[in-house]
Structure 1
Amino acid sequence: MAEDVGAPVKGPNAWRQAFAAVALFAAIGGALWVSEARPGNSGPPPATCSDEEPGKPTGRVTGAQLCEALHRKDLAELLGTPAESAKTVQSNDGSVGLEGGKDIPMPTAEIEFDTYTVTLSATYDDLPVAGAHELLGEPKQRTVLGRPAVLYSDRTIRISFRLDGGDTDSGPGVPLRSLMVAQDAKDGGGSFDVTLWRSDGMVPDDAVLLRVAEKILPTVPGWAAGS
């Protein structure tokens, strides 16, 4: 039995490539849960955010907090697919180690529907968003919710793995659209990213992405402090 999993591949710089690896492992875990949590005809339980005990305060948003912000009752409606229900919901508080021993915290949350998969992440890399459009190959920088932002394209990666332990295979996946928004109005470093991709391989609609982001981001803990 084989499973195909999509995970975001982001941008040209090192921290975005590292984030793709974090998201990939989260996506594989979600796919295994879907394939194994179907006893009889009862179907999987409703997808919910993690109920893990909160850890030591760090001054940064956690994956669980991002999940709570993302897992809105009206998310499917915002996506334009109101009849759909979340299939999987997951989050993590991962970080990525770069050369020199520096770790970049990258909490993430992801919700999968039949049509769309949505991710919300925070990156604490101290890099401003202004000018990122040039690195990402986009023609212009935007302003979203009063903060510097970049709307850009990329692709997921596709990984096919066998539950019997056979060889895995990977290759290009489906197109995605992502919105990167500065964590504060002064663009002092770090960003929030909202990303969409579709199971049918169509390019996500920018109007849908912006509608989702403009509703979700102001509900992320600490957002108002950066205004």
Structure 2
Amino acid sequence: MRVRENSRRDDDRADRPAACSSQDQDLPAGYVSGAPLCTALNRPDLRVLLGTAEEHALGADGGVSWFSPVGGAGKIATPQAKVPLQTYSVQLSASYDRLPVAETADLLGFTAQRTTVLGRPAVLYSDRTIGITLNFNGGKTSTGTGPGGIARSLVVAKDAQDGGGSFEVVIWRQDGRLPDDTALFRTAEQALPTIPGWTAG
């Protein structure tokens, strides 16, 4: 009986998402931080949405990166969260650059596909992940275009009027194969409405 109870507890723990760690910094008013993005992405059913129901999250973290726009003054914060599994890694980020998704689609070129997600303008596009090779024998660390291969990204406007700013969901496979767009859309449609400040319509 004890063996069965212990086994049931282990199964229950395995079904829970990984605990989110966060390294948030001070953000301007109205910005969502990495911690709630991590909570939105790190769903108990994420593995099911990705089509890998037998897998479990290997970790989960949220934080903020900063970049300086070309010709602009100051820095823009990009809160983000990432959850890796055995097959997929998934990332969710928020952009406050005031750029409408329609303009983002123009900048991405002819391969970008305009679409709609949850009633909002969106654009689907491909990008390459960067592989990092670590040498633990005193050698140099090198980077390259692999083994992550192709990442599929879905940029969704913050509002139906496409007034600027967006959320982006990205998935890529650990084995370098092409990710499943259906899994990407399923994840976005379930995770985005749980971000604080998201409004329907």
TM-score by length of 1: 0.73
Question: Which residue pairs with 2:121 in the alignment?
Answer: 148
Q: Which AA in structure 2 matches 1:119?
A: Q
- Structure 1 residue runs without a partner (length 5+): 1-45
* Distance in 2 between residues matched to 1:178 and 1:141, nearest whole Å: 12
What is the SS of the residue equivalent to 2:161? coil
Give the whole-Å Cα distance in 2 for the aligned partners of 1:186 and 1:53. Answer: 29
How many residues are paired up? 181
Q: What code does the residue aligned with 1:108 have?
A: Q
1:86 aligned residue: 57
**In the alignment, does 2:107 pair up with 1:135?**
yes
CA distance in 2, matches of 1:160, 1:51: 25
In the TM superposition, 1:117-196 aligns within 5 A as: 117-137=89-109, 138=111, 140-173=113-146, 174-196=149-171
Q: Aligned pair 1:220/2:192, yes or no?
A: no
Of the three residues 15, 31, 48, the one matched with 1:60 is: 31
State whether residues 61 and 107 of structure 1, in contact with CA within 8 Å, keep that contact through their aligned partners in structure 2.
yes
Distance of 2:57 and 2:164 partners within structure 1: 32
SS in 2 for 1:181: strand
Q: Give the structure 2 partner of residue 10 of structure 1.
A: none
Task: Report the Cα distance in structure 1 between the residues aligned to 2:112 and 2:29, rounded to whole angstroms.
Answer: 36
Q: Could you tell me whether the CA contact under 8 Å between 1:131 and 1:141 is conserved in 2?
A: no
Output the amino acid matched with 1:104: I
Q: CA deviation at 1:57?
A: 7.0
- 1:131 aligns to what SS in structure 2? helix
- Contact 2:25 2:63 (8 Å CA) reproduced: no
Q: Relative to structure 1, is the Cα distance of residues 207 and 64 closer, same or farther in structure 2, using a 3 angstrom cutoff? A: same
Report the CA distance shift for 1:208/1:166 in structure 2 as closer, same or farther (over 3 A). same
Q: Deviations over 1:115-149 (max 9, x none)?
A: 00000000110100013223212354211111110
Q: 1:70 aligns with which of 26, 41, 46?
A: 41
- Secondary structure of 1:223's counterpart equals coil
- Secondary structure, in 3 states, of the residue corresponding to 2:105? helix
Deviation per CA, 1:71-97, whole angstroms, max 9, x where unpaired?
110000111111111112111122212
Moved more, 51-60 or 170-179: 51-60
What percentage of aligned pairs have identical amino acids? 51
| Secondary structure of residue in 2 paired with 1:170 | strand
Structure 1 residues 171 and 61: alpha-carbon distance in aligned structure 2, compared to 1, 3 A threshold? same
Cα-to-partner distance string for 1:136-169 (whole Å, 9 max, x where unaligned) = 1235421111111001011101111234553111
Q: Which is greater in Rg?
A: 2
Where in structure 2 are there 5+ consecutive unaligned residues? Answer: 1-16
